[in-house]
Each structure stands twice: as structure tokens, then as C-alpha cells.
Amino acid sequence: MGDTDNKAKKQQINVDYRHWGNVSRAVLNGVIGDYLVEQNNPLAIDMGFYHQGAPLSLPNPELKYSNKIVVLLHGLTNLETIWDINTGENQESVKSTSNVINYGIHLQRDFGFTPLFLRYNTGLPIEENGRQFTQLMAQLISAYPKPIDEIVFVGFSMGGLLMRYAQKNAIEANAPWLTKLTNCFYLGTPHEGSYFERFGHLASSMVRNIPKEYISHWADWIDVRSEGIQDLKHGLAHLRKTEPEYDESHGSCGSFYQHAGHHFISGSLTEESDSVLNKIFGDALVTHGSANPNTAPVGSKFAHFDGVPHVPLAHTERVYQQVKQWIEERGSKTKLIAYHQSEIDFNLTPNVMVLSKEDVELSGLHSDLHSKQEMIAGALDLMAVGYEKTVEAVEKVHLSIAKEPHAILKRVPVVQSVSGVVDMTQVGITEAVYYSVKQGGTLLRAAADLLKK
């Protein structure tokens, strides 16, 4: 009995380690994901559909396919697990089974939709992620075993902005899948921007304008945040000029597909609807006005949940009930067709090889080990950059603070003649010391290079 308990504990620890490793990677991508891509760092997340924490390979015997799909898009620094509803059980053990509960599973149960969960690098510019998502949708439609007759998008926070860019791109390209789009749900989406990022931009500007170099240089650290985060300053407000331009031939309206139903959900910090806190901070990250844009198409639906802050909008049962009600109200002319696994023979990955069971196991083991090595190498590269930047920052503070007493000494006639020599000597010694300290970053890079071989 004791051995069984120990095995269960070890398995639980492994699940925790994998989950929190993925969470940390998602946060890292949100903060500096654009930099990771620029440096070809293996820690950068590639956009794709995921199932139970792993890239979705098709066919998948655990999925039930139908002619109706729902795509769920998470927000900044999130994973697809942001949709998981807390049932009061141990969430890590629940996530490792088929018993997980989320909006996607609910939509499959209630309407027959096949749920597909998108994972993406939230640090990339929103427009770039929108372009990638448009392309991924086209690939999905081509690879799916049978014609898809209905598509629903559910986007949380930044995910809602990706949905709008995807619609804009599809409208301009007259993409075939667009006519299948019936409903779009935007949950806590900062259509008009987030005050949180505006505060970050303001803080950076204020610090940079302080006339003390050892203070102003910290603005560079504030500006390290990714383009994805900085894009949240104004949301998609720059597209508002295109929204009124209605094109009957395409049934489009800017970045909203006109023939789909558009539904906007917002939350707030407290249950008091007239609370000053709610009016100023909204759901903690997105205000009521930003989540319910004036540019919404005519006929759009709006719902507000007092006392449901930003993140819980993605996994609260009563929010789902509102989504369900709206789908029921709009109805569906699409007849549900379920596809059995035997009918499915497709894969989104090109050049798939047919392997024996033993070959698959060995290939999977090798791939897993190689992937772990790449991840460690990527982490070491990042540690090297962080180490070097930190040392540079400390050196800059050191030198800029030292300049002030030397500037004073230069104005004193008695020591004026030697102050310049003292200054040069001190700077030379400081630079030599910090040059030696910076070699720690070189060692970390060397270790990363060894793992990459």
C-alpha cells in the first residue's frame, strides 16, 4: 500500500512540475515573447492547438469530431488551462484526466461543438498573432476530415483582439471559412485599450525624464515589456475608423464579420454596481467601456457581471450560462453530424511517417529528451542575458553616482588639477571590475551552446 501511495505522489509531483513549467513559460512569453522569437530561443511558444497540455496531433482518439467547432483563445501570459473551471477538486489531478470541465467541454456537451484550444506567444504584436491565427484557421479547414459547417470563437482578454484581427484579415482575403462563423464571444477584451498598460507607458516616460542618470536609466527596464503588452495600451481603437464602413458584398464591418453574432462580456472587482472602484478599475485590468466598445456592430449583445474580476471571466459557471443562452437565442441551422474515429485520417503535420509502436516510443523518448535539452539551453541563454543586463545596470548606477562628487571636486580650485586624474582612475578600475564580472554571462552562453550540440 505504501509503494502505491509513493508512486501516486511521484506522479502528482511530475504533473505539477510539468504544469508549472508550462505556466512559467507562458508568463515569460507574455513579458518578452517577441525577444525570444527574435533570438530564436527555444522557449518561444509556437502557435497551435493544444489538448491536455500537449500539442494536438490529429487524429486523436480522445476527441469527438463533429461538423461544428469552437475555438477558444486565451489571454496575455495564459495557457489554454485558463478556461478550466474549478470544481473544488484537486485541479492538477483533474487536468491529467478527461474529467476536466471548461467552456469548450460545456459547448461540446450542450451543442455538439468540437472544442479546439489555441496556445500562442502572447508577447508578439497582436496584429502578428492575428495573422498567424488566420493562417492556422485556413490550415485547419483544409485538414479537417469533413466539411465544417459552423464555427464559433470564444476569446478571453487579448484573445478577443486576435479574433477581430482574424476577421479583418479573412474579410480582406475573402477567406472561405469566414462564412461559417456564426458567433463571436469577447470576454474581458480591451477593445479600447487597458489602463494598466497606459500606466506602464506613463511610468516609463516619467522615469526617463528624471534628470539623474542613475534613475532615468531604469526606464529601459520598464520598456523591456513585450510588444504584445504595449499593444494593449490602445487595444484596437486605431481600427475604429473602419468600423462604420459597411460592405454589403462581403457583409463586413471593419474587424467584425457582419453575419456573425457578436457578444461582449465584462466584469468588475466588486458586486456593488455603483462602486467608484468598479468605475475606475473595471475588472482590475479592463474597464467597462473598453470591454463594451462603441464600435460594436448593430445588434450586438452585452452582459456585465459585478463581482467577477478579469481572470475569472474565463472560468466561471454563470458566465458560461450567459454564453449558452446567447447561442440558444440565435439558434442554429446547422445539423449536428458526428464523425467516428474510423472515418478520420488526417494530420496537420506535413510529411507524417508510418512507424511501428516500438519506433514511435523510441522516437518520442528521443524527441522528449531533445526538447528538454533545448528548453534548458534556452533558459541558460536567457539567464546569460539577464545576468549581463543586470551587471550593466549596476555598473551604470555606480558610475553615474560617482560622477556627482567628481563634478563637485572639479569646481574646487585646490583639488581641481587632480580631480580629472582621480575620475579617470576610478572609471578605469570600475570598468575593469565589471568586465570581469560580466564573464559569468559568457560561461552561461557556453553551457547553452554545449546543450544545443
- Please write the tens of the pLDDT for every residue from 409-422: 556 565 555 555 55
Measured CA to CA in angstroms, residue 97 lies from 15, 85, 94, 197, 259 at distances of 11, 14, 5, 37, 38
**How much is the mean pLDDT over the chain?**
74
Q: Check pLDDT > 70 for residue 231.
A: yes
Reported as a pLDDT band with limits 50, 70 and 90, residue 190 is: very high
Confidence of residue 51 (pLDDT cuts 50, 70, 90): confident
Indicate if the pLDDT at residue 219 is higher than 50: no
Q: pLDDT confidence of 349, banded at 50, 70, 90? A: very low
pLDDT confidence bin for 382, thresholds 50/70/90: low
| pLDDT (0 to 100) of residue 104 | 95
6 by Cβ neighbours in 10 Å (0-12 / 13-18 / 19+) ranks as exposed
pLDDT band at 70 (very low <50, low <70, confident <90, very high): very high
Cβ atoms of 140 and 170 closer than 8 Å: no
Residue 260 has pLDDT above 90, yes or no: yes
pLDDT above 90: residue 360:
no
Range with the poorest average pLDDT among 198-202, 240-244, 256-260, 279-283? 198-202
Neighbouring C-alpha atoms within 13 Å toward the C-beta of 175: 23
pLDDT of residue 346: 45
Domain segments of the chain as ranges = 13-343, 357-452
**pLDDT band with cut points at 50, 70 and 90 for residue 341:** low
User: DSSP letters of 118-180?
Assistant: EE--TTS-HHHHHHHHHHHHHHHHHHSSS---EEEEEEETHHHHHHHHHHHHHHHHT-GGGGG
Q: What is the CA radius of gyration of the chain?
A: 26
pTM for this model (two decimals): 0.75
Torsion angle of the four alpha carbons 57, 60, 66, 70, in this order, in degrees rounded to the nearest 10? -50
| Model confidence at 204: pLDDT above 80 | no
Residue 149 has pLDDT above 90, yes or no: yes
Band the pLDDT of 424: cuts 50, 70, 90: low
* DSSP three-state, residue 302: strand
- In the block, cell 554545449 appears at 450
**Confidence at residue 331, expressed as pLDDT on a 0 to 100 scale:** 84
Top pLDDT among 267 and 413 is at: 267
Q: Specify the pLDDT at position 352.
A: 30
Q: Find the mean pLDDT for residues 51-68.
A: 76
Residue whose C-alpha is closest to residue 167's, from 303, 297, 17, 302: 297
The residue ranking higher by pLDDT, 148 or 221, is: 148
pLDDT confidence band for 453 (50 / 70 / 90): low
Contacts of 174 (CB under 8 A, 6+ apart): 250
Asked whether 347 and 57 are in contact (CB, 8 A), the reply is yes
Tell me the fold of 13-343: Rossmann fold (3.40.50)
pLDDT at 7 over 60: no
Cα(17)–Cα(420) distance, integer angstroms: 56
The secondary element (H helix, E strand) that includes residue 183 is strand 181-187
pLDDT 10s digits, 281-331: 888 889 999 999 999 999 999 999 999 999 999 999 999 999 999 999 998
Checking if the pLDDT of 89 tops 60, the result is no
The C-alpha atoms of residue 420 and residue 232 are separated, in whole angstroms, by 48
Percent of the chain scoring above 70 in pLDDT: 56
CA distance 375 to 111: 39
For residue 198, what pLDDT is reported? Answer: 46
Whether the per-residue pLDDT at 35 is higher than 90: the answer is no
User: Does residue 147 surpass a pLDDT of 80?
Assistant: yes
